[in-house]
Structure 1
């Protein structure tokens, strides 16, 4: 029986907009490529998800930015890594491309959570769709009043 995909959702701490995340990913992947490593994005988190097979079967990491899910990154693999402090952690290896999604309000939470595919925001198909050109404060207000 094939494994069904599931997703993760996580706060993108310190990032105010998707463009800022994309710039950070470009810097990280350029540094990896310069070091002869694969062109991937890696995010290290404390806990290894128990549903690893489902995440690696087509899952994505949905990023909460400025109070809303705004984009996702495709998960390639989950690997156990050990920090300089000797503590084992989970490296989420992702494709370097960021896929923008329909903004979906999300309250702050700690760590990551699983996200069922049917609960995931839909991908945006083109530039400007989903209010991508709106100022952040206007977009936030529209989400707040439920007009989004």
Structure 2
């Protein structure tokens, strides 16, 4: 089995993993396979590594908060005729430990050893910490 690499992407305008899921759900009817996707201008050069078990890690409100496994990369053309890459995702969103991330444009590669761990499934129903406390804990490496 080959190497794996993940992607990190800002989820602009998203308030929480729940609002990301709601936005994706609202847009599923646009796609014949009913799978969520993110369309980007650039095609990842490390396609084989991404498709070898990679996920997209979503940065929400300044921190990685969740991830979605990547199923495939589809070629799509915009209304302007420009070739783009549709990153097709599994619908399941996995909550992760918070990991602060500075703003950036586009997407970045993320090594598996640098990816935040998934939260245990039972944690999904835990009370959410206040944003300031969550950020402070992430800054000192507790989360």
Q: In the alignment, is residue 109 of structure 1 matched against residue 104 of structure 2?
A: yes
- Give ranges in structure 1 of 5+ residues lacking alignment: none
Deviation at 1:133, TM superposition (A): 1.5
Q: Normalized against structure 1, the TM-score is what?
A: 0.87
Deviation at 1:80, TM superposition (A): 1.7
Q: In the alignment, is residue 17 of structure 1 matched against residue 12 of structure 2?
A: no
Question: May I ask how many residue pairs the two structures share in their alignment?
Answer: 142
**Selected match of 1:125 from 120, 123, 127:** 120
Q: Aligned partners of 1:59 and 1:45: how far apart in 2?
A: 17
Which whole-Å deviations, capped at 9, do the CAs of 1:51-91 have from their partners, x for residues lacking one?
A: 11111111000001111111001100012211000111111
Q: Aligned partners of 1:3 and 1:53: how far apart in 2?
A: 8
Go from structure 1 to structure 2 and tell me whether the alpha carbon gap of 1:26 and 1:74 turns closer, same or farther (over 3 Å shift).
Answer: same
Aligned residue in 2 for 1:40: 35
Deviation at 1:137, TM superposition (A): 3.1
SS at match of 1:127: helix
SS at match of 1:90: strand
SS at match of 1:123: coil
RMSD: 1.8
- Give ranges in structure 2 of 5+ residues lacking alignment: none
Q: Normalized against structure 2, the TM-score is what?
A: 0.89
Q: Which moved more, 1:137-146 or 1:9-18?
A: 137-146
Aligned residue in 1 for 2:27: 28
Q: In the alignment, is residue 53 of structure 1 matched against residue 48 of structure 2?
A: yes
SS at match of 2:122: coil
Q: Aligned partners of 1:17 and 1:137: how far apart in 2?
A: 14
Deviation at 1:27, TM superposition (A): 1.7
Q: In the alignment, is residue 82 of structure 1 matched against residue 82 of structure 2?
A: no
